[in-house]
Structure 1
Amino acid sequence: MCLVSKLLIAALVLTAGTAHASKSAVANPETKAFDKIVDDTVARYHLPGIAVGVIENGRVVYVRTAGETVAGSGQKITPQTLFKIASNSKAMTTALLGRLVDQGKLHWDDPVTKYLPQFRMHDPWVTANMRVADLLTHSSGLPQGGGDLMLWPEPNAFTRTDIIRGLAYIKPGYSFRSKYQYDNLLYVVAGEVAAAAGGASYETLMHREVFEPLGLSRCQVGEWNRDAVGDVAQPHRRDRNGNVAIREDAEMIPAITSAPAGGIRCDLTDMLGWARNWLVPTPAQLAWLSPAQRQILQAPHMLIPVPALRRTWDRSHIMAYGYGWRMTDVDGEWNVWHTGTLTGMYSMLSLLPDRRSGFVFMINGDAGDARTVLGEVLTKHFTAPGEQHDVNWYADALERMAAQHAATTSMPDTSAQRPADAAELATWTGTYRDPWFGDISLCPNNGSVRFTAAKSPKLAGTVMRLGARYLVHWDDSGELDAWLDFHAAQNGLPVTLRMAKLDPNGDFSSDYEDLDFQHVGDCHP
């Protein structure tokens, strides 16, 4: 986006005289309606910070920010505040690949091994037949979230080389190209394909081929300096005391392995420019990425089962995944969209191409339900303005559904858990190895037993006993606690360890169920 366009967007924002909000300056009924939607969402979900932008018929008609980059800091969210856009990074990765296709450096049907000869999946036939396009549609056979423990929690020591090597050991959850199961690892592989085809690192290519041509001047990927760039939102969790910043950035923000899948940060101004590039591309933008590639990226390539909520609220009949985009029909209109989720950071970008309209928002707090509700109300502004359902109507509906679901789930009561005694666990202590995750240790420490992961320092915790079972309670409260199920050595095979989430509905990226540890050594003093 050119500087003039950025200034026009910024001019829509009026600072509201507090540390907590800025509102669009144009006072008209539609602006007031958007303000109420945002205000109601912030109030209902006690959000620490948010940035929202709306496009109608190709024009930015509403920009709104509220809250703080860090709760209690007094540093206001602005349209230039950087947020983690998480999986909205995927569409930027596929646009980079589309650029390379336009340049003749890559073809969608090329085998992955043409660019990465070391690439292996669990099944040799799948390895040989995996195309570049297959990396992008979540239909590879990987179980949902398979291998995500090599990406998150961050920081960790897993490299993209580790991921490419580890894929061969992750057992498939279904047959190749037969169904949709969301994964992240293959987008990391796609980033490495781009690097091999483009002759530079993924980060270099993203800056050169995407950010710079589109004028996304504040989007960041790779290593950068927090203070030099400035205005960076931090993630939050909510507890009894309110919003608490977590996993705050150090001054030097490192390049991260997960970048092609979910590691880009952008501000609202750049995200609106990114959205307008898809809705009302200029001649220069059509030269940047051809209409043919644009159509391919946002075309349905893999069907997704339509959730009951979509059928009820949106009267949807079909849902599909393109290359880095989801798509569905909403109230008879075509909707192209994606969400982004990282601990303490939520985002959504939604396009209605036939209307040349859409919206984007980013939140720096626990906001799963808030994102669902805000996304629904903003969508209905376009597709069903007569329905008159507000934020609280949708929020109440979600709470009723959650209560009904909770009544039928089996999340255990952990109030009686206690630290396991080292003596009682003596049979099972030692070091264990999984072929893709690597080594962990379960070793005595001051009378209890500690779990530590060699390449993932955030996965450290105390082994607890709950009834007849053992679990690990992580030091980091943002991680999902996990059952530890030991199996005795037999028939010459070593002791084995399997893991599973305590919360059966926990985030799929905590893919403990895909781990298969074998005892490989003793604890060392």
Structure 2
Amino acid sequence: MHAAKGLRPRRGRRLAASGLAALLLAATVLTSGAVGQDPSPSPTPPPSQAVPKPPTDQPPPLLTRADVDRAVARLDGVVQDMMKQTGVPGVAVGVVHQDRVLYLKGFGKRHVDEPPAVDPDTVFQLASLSKPIGSTVVAGAVADKDADGRGAAWDEPVTRHLPGFALKDPWVSGHVTVTDLMSHRSGLPDHAGDLLEDLGYDQAYILGRLRDEPLAPFRASYAYTNFGFTAGAEAVARAEGVSWQKLAEDTLFRPAGMDSTSTTFADYEKAANKAVTHVPGPDGTWQAKYVRDADAQAPAGGVSSTAADMMRWLRLQLAGGRLDGRQLIDAASLRHTHLPEIVSQPPTAPAGRTGFYGLGWNVNYDNQARLRLSHSGAFELGANTNVTMLPGEQLGIVVLTNGKPVGLADAVAQDFFDTAQYGKPTRDWLALFAALYTEMDDAGVSPTDYADPPAAAKAARPDGVYTGTYGNAYYGDATVTTGPDGLVLELGPEPKRFPLRHYDGDTFSFETAGENAVGRTGVTFSFGEGSTAARTLRVEYLDETGLGTFTRR
């Protein structure tokens, strides 16, 4: 692992519905032999054991059924041991090989304080594992467009179907396509729009404000954006004249028999057999403390599903869009989602590998020139998922958990593929991923320690000079009020209240909340010359791209 280069989030705990693209990509690179290991591949099976030709243009299979069975046999112990080490309450795992489900089990509890156990039909929130599911839906829709002339296409401007959608550069606005947005190469900053979601803004507002974000070079810069991906997928749904849930239902869920899968939070909430989200408390015990509604970014992070349903989707992926003898998604269109669209991880050493992002997939190639696809999903508020597959081997694994990301989902998948290919894990994957997630949790925290004021702190001015309403074109209004406990900052459409603690002079702090919380952050008021009331306030963690200053109305 190249230290944490490329893994460090740009803005706080950037795990929100995030596929953790760089994290999983780096792990895939490790497994692919980027650190110099090149174990001998398993021998090609004799003709009597030959496997069917893969549905994609891949080299012949290198793994025998015995190789895969060895990895499957290890899964029970691996999952149970990692659950014991981490305390993650519930896990579901499924494995597909050559269109057969070889393994499908649930472990632990749906709710840490209640008896019902996780089983293959337990509904989990998938977080950014929603993205490869979303690109599967779009693959089906754009294939229909080719057939009947209706709908959207991968490489046409999204403004044809999203009237009013714009980015900061007018030329980019007119040319940005579904492919650009769903492969994170639009030029938008990392996780653009996520903080608006944390404040309670809806999808329409957030997509409308992307025009205020500064842009990096178009189609030459990779930055992971949930709402960029969402805009691309929504353009396809609008072209079909339906909601995203309706498009997903008609194109994938119903035809594939994924009856417990949905893109809406309401459907997840009403499921009787669902795994609730968990986070570790201060004493290390896991708590069902938060609820994560990801409807605003449904195509990118809002899917909920079961391990059983995910096996049907994984079978379809590995069989070139076919399931139970029916071609549900056009093979060429689905294969298109597996192609590299942008370099997401340049090599960091002469022997290092280049990592790519496709359409909802991390794309890599291993030492045997095999295509390797993966994606992770993570809600800091309590979910972690992983899908990893080798299409040429027709082999894939899905791991779903109901705990904040601590490495378990990713480690189970990596351990499985190591065991299949090399006979045993090549490293302690759980320790590695746990360390990376800890580093990501710590990233983005303010360099200022707001726990205690400095020894020579200046006194604050009277509360009245700070109170009032301050406007911001991107974040909306910020209102500062005062009460028995001092100043309070209100942000968002249905204002969230953040008590302010004095730090030094005109600087205060508050405890951030939500998926992208970063601990305490600063709020600094500025005064014009001779002014008796603050003219502006700047919220530190909202200001990474220069949009966090509010001006008194």
Normalised TM-score (structure 1): 0.80
Measured in 2, the distance between the counterparts of 1:298 and 1:269 equals: 23
**Aligned residue number for residue 495 of structure 1:** 535
Count the aligned residue pairs.
Answer: 471
Specify the SS of the correspondent of 1:362. Answer: strand
Measured in 1, the distance between the counterparts of 2:441 and 2:315 equals: 39
Higher relative contact order (CA 8 A, sep 6+): 2
Residue identity in the other structure for 1:320: F
**Aligned residue number for residue 499 of structure 2:** 462
RMSD (Å) for aligned C-alpha atoms: 3.5
Structure 1 residue 383, shift from structure 2 partner: 3.4
Most deviating of 70-79 and 215-224: 215-224
Specify the SS of the correspondent of 1:213. Answer: coil
- For the pair 1:72 / 2:113, whether they are aligned, the reply is yes
**Aligned residue number for residue 515 of structure 1:** 547
**Aligned residue number for residue 183 of structure 1:** 225
CA offsets 1:151-186 (integer angstroms, 9 cap, x no match): 236xx2x233212321111222x1111111100112
- For the pair 1:327 / 2:366, whether they are aligned, the reply is no
**Aligned residue number for residue 46 of structure 2:** none
Tell me, yes or no, if the aligned pair for 2:125 and 2:268 is still in contact at 8 Å: no
**Aligned residue number for residue 298 of structure 1:** 338
Tell me, yes or no, if the aligned pair for 1:330 and 1:383 is still in contact at 8 Å: no
Match of 2:420 among 378, 382, 388: 382
Tell me, yes or no, if the aligned pair for 1:338 and 1:350 is still in contact at 8 Å: yes
- For the pair 1:213 / 2:251, whether they are aligned, the reply is no
Match of 1:34 among 59, 65, 75: 75
Match of 2:373 among 336, 340, 352: 336
Measured in 2, the distance between the counterparts of 1:369 and 1:497 equals: 38
**Aligned residue number for residue 21 of structure 2:** none
Residue identity in the other structure for 2:427: H
Tell me, yes or no, if the aligned pair for 1:51 and 1:66 is still in contact at 8 Å: yes
Aligned-residue identity in percent: 23
Match of 1:483 among 515, 522, 529: 522
- For the pair 1:134 / 2:180, whether they are aligned, the reply is yes
Measured in 1, the distance between the counterparts of 2:265 and 2:258 equals: 17
Tell me, yes or no, if the aligned pair for 2:95 and 2:396 is still in contact at 8 Å: yes
Q: What are the within-5 Å matches in structure 2 for residues 82-97 of structure 1?
A: 82-97=123-138
Q: What are the within-5 Å matches in structure 2 for residues 242-257 of structure 1?
A: 242-248=285-291, 256-257=295-296
Distance 1:438 1:228, change over 3 A: closer
Distance 1:387 1:207, change over 3 A: closer
Measured in 1, the distance between the counterparts of 2:438 and 2:166 equals: 40
Tell me, yes or no, if the aligned pair for 1:327 and 1:337 is still in contact at 8 Å: yes
Match of 2:205 among 162, 166, 169: 162
Match of 2:299 among 237, 250, 260: 260
Measured in 2, the distance between the counterparts of 1:285 and 1:455 equals: 49
Specify the SS of the correspondent of 1:348. Answer: strand
- For the pair 1:115 / 2:147, whether they are aligned, the reply is no
Structure 1 residue 511, shift from structure 2 partner: 7.3
CA offsets 1:281-323 (integer angstroms, 9 cap, x no match): 4366763211210121110001111576xx89xx861211111
**Aligned residue number for residue 65 of structure 2:** none
Measured in 2, the distance between the counterparts of 1:78 and 1:126 equals: 47
**Aligned residue number for residue 21 of structure 1:** none
Match of 1:366 among 396, 404, 413: 404
Tell me, yes or no, if the aligned pair for 1:422 and 1:449 is still in contact at 8 Å: no
Distance 1:389 1:344, change over 3 A: same
Most deviating of 437-446 and 397-406: 397-406
Specify the SS of the correspondent of 2:407. Answer: helix
Most deviating of 447-456 and 238-247: 447-456
Measured in 2, the distance between the counterparts of 1:258 and 1:128 equals: 23
Tell me, yes or no, if the aligned pair for 2:488 and 2:499 is still in contact at 8 Å: yes
Residue identity in the other structure for 2:290: R
CA offsets 1:77-96 (integer angstroms, 9 cap, x no match): 11111111111112222222
Structure 1 residue 362, shift from structure 2 partner: 1.0
**Aligned residue number for residue 151 of structure 1:** 197
Distance 1:90 1:241, change over 3 A: closer
Structure 1 residue 63, shift from structure 2 partner: 2.1
Structure 1 residue 229, shift from structure 2 partner: 3.0
- For the pair 1:204 / 2:246, whether they are aligned, the reply is yes
Tell me, yes or no, if the aligned pair for 1:500 and 1:513 is still in contact at 8 Å: no
**Aligned residue number for residue 125 of structure 1:** 171
Distance 1:409 1:346, change over 3 A: closer
CA offsets 1:205-232 (integer angstroms, 9 cap, x no match): 1111111011111002236456753111
Tell me, yes or no, if the aligned pair for 1:102 and 1:290 is still in contact at 8 Å: yes
**Aligned residue number for residue 16 of structure 2:** none
Structure 1 residue 51, shift from structure 2 partner: 0.9
Measured in 2, the distance between the counterparts of 1:243 and 1:128 equals: 48
User: Higher strand share goes to which structure?
Assistant: 1
Structure 1 residue 55, shift from structure 2 partner: 2.2
Structure 1 residue 423, shift from structure 2 partner: 4.8
Match of 2:96 among 41, 44, 55: 55
Distance 1:410 1:423, change over 3 A: closer
Measured in 2, the distance between the counterparts of 1:409 and 1:450 equals: 21
Residue identity in the other structure for 2:240: G
**Aligned residue number for residue 314 of structure 2:** 275
Most deviating of 327-336 and 442-451: 327-336
Distance 1:217 1:471, change over 3 A: same
Structure 1 residue 424, shift from structure 2 partner: 4.5
Residue identity in the other structure for 1:212: R
Most deviating of 297-306 and 323-332: 323-332
Residue identity in the other structure for 2:231: V
Residue identity in the other structure for 1:176: F
**Aligned residue number for residue 194 of structure 1:** 236
Most deviating of 56-65 and 115-124: 56-65
Distance 1:368 1:355, change over 3 A: same
